[in-house]
Every structure is written in structure tokens, then in C-alpha cells.
Amino acid sequence: MRLMMMHKNDPHTEAGEPPPLELVQRMGAFIGEHAQSGRFVDGAGLAGSKTRTRLTFKNGQCTKKQGPYHGEHELPAATLLLKVKTRDEAIGWAERYGKILGDGEIELGKVNEPWDIGVMPAPENPPLQILLIEKADKDSEGSGRSPQQKAALSRLKTEMTKAGVLVSSLRLKPSSQGKRLVFTNNDLRVIDGPFLESKELIGGFAVMDLTDMDEAIALNRNYAEILGGTLEIDLRIVDRDEESA
């Protein structure tokens, strides 16, 4: 079972503060351990909302809002990791993506690079990686996108790949199959989906290949402890059939 673990943004990240060195080292060890075992697939942290752009599509029109801002409708349906030269380039791709879906919302969040968190000096002309988050709606939470939408999205992603922009793409199964883990001082409360929405901005994610949801919950106890022990994490199943398509 492939799962996406998404932890929510916190005040320190939102304020632009770099993570403590101990956290960086412990998270690096966590990733290294699970990468070596073949369970860790991908992951990244996202910068605060001041680096993000929200695109809202309604009646054929696109409205853009640059951060900082608070979370509103933050339940994801899919993510695309883009490598672009400029934010405007990412916005251009997102506008084309959103027009295929019709009314809805897309978030563009900058991925934290090693130099952003003080691990190494920034290289000359560093790449800009942006996580495109397609927000969930009644279609993605229900019967899914129409065949026409799926075909159009597939064509767009093929174009993105040929342009060297698309790094990875994941579609998530409905939140009815997910779980929300609420940690308070490392005490855990598990909430079963579906989730009407999430008001908390995504602060980062990890994609893991695990046996089942029970293993994911056990693993997230350690993951949450590294991140401070008081936070919210969503566990969502990756749609491997959609991913292969």
C-alpha cells in the first residue's frame, strides 16, 4: 500500500524560521532508514504561506491570491511536483490544469531545498521546485474525474514531462479511505475519514510503501515525535491505478 503522509503547517514554518539542527538530523536519519529499507518513496517540506499562490477557478475565470494567508479548503485530491525557472511559469501550468477541472482551487507551494533550511549554501541559479496541490471536491471525493478530464490531464502531464517540468505526479484516493492523526504531546487520537475539509495548510509530506494502515499509524508515532509531538497528520492512500495511467 502506497500512502502519502501529510503534516500540517506550524507557526515556526509560517514565520519563516529554519528548523532546529536536531530536527533536521533526526528527520534525515528517519528518511535514510526507510529509504534504505525501500519504504520511503518521496518527500519534501513546504515553505510558509508567504511563498505560496492560491488559484481559484469559477465560471471560467481564474483568481490568483499570493500569500501570506490562512488555510481555507486544504483537502488535497492530487499533487504534482514541478521544477520550473520562475513562479510565473508554475502559475501558467497551474492555470491550464485548473481550466481542465472547471470550478475549483489549486495551491502552489514552494518546496524547501537544503539551502533554505541552512544545511548547505545555495548554488548559483538554484532550481525552483513547486508542489501543485489540486484541492478535493465532490467529484474527486465521489465518482472521480470524468473520462474527458482524465484524458485532458494526461495530455497536459505528458506535455509537462516533455518540457522537463513534471518531476512526479500522485493522485489520492478519496478521504473516506484515509485517517487523520491528531497528536497532543505525543498522545494520539485517530479520526476516520471522510473529511469534509481541512483548514490547516500542508507543511510537508512523505510518500511511503507500507503493509497497511496499522503500520502507517505506528510509524507516524515516531514521525510526529520528531516534529514536536503536537500536530496533525493526514494519511491518504495513493491511487496506484491512476498513477500508472
Which amino acid is present at 102? Answer: G
pLDDT of residue 244: 47
The yes-or-no verdict on residue 245 having pLDDT over 50 is no
> What is the residue whose three cell numbers read 514554518?
13
The yes-or-no verdict on residue 243 having pLDDT over 70 is no
Residue of 182, 181, 176, 195 whose CA lies nearest to 74 = 195
Domain positions in the chain are: 2-244
* Range with lowest mean pLDDT among 84-88, 216-220, 239-243: 239-243
How far, in Å, CA of 41 to CA of 35, rounded? 7
> What is the residue whose three cell numbers read 538530523?
25
pLDDT of residue 123: 86
| Largest interatomic CA distance in the chain | 48
Q: Any idea of the CA torsion for 165, 69, 103, 62, to the nearest 10 degrees?
A: -70
pLDDT of residue 222: 92
Read off the pLDDT of residues 110-143 as tens digits, 9 standing for 90 and up. 999 988 887 788 888 888 999 999 999 999 999 8
Q: Please give the backbone phi and psi of residue 9, each rounded to the nearest 5 degrees, phi first.
A: -60, 155
User: What contacts 84, CB < 8 A, 6 or more positions away?
Assistant: 90, 93, 128, 129, 130, 165
Check if the beta carbon of residue 107 is closer than 8 Å to that of residue 133: yes
Check if the beta carbon of residue 234 is closer than 8 Å to that of residue 2: no
The yes-or-no verdict on residue 95 having pLDDT over 50 is yes
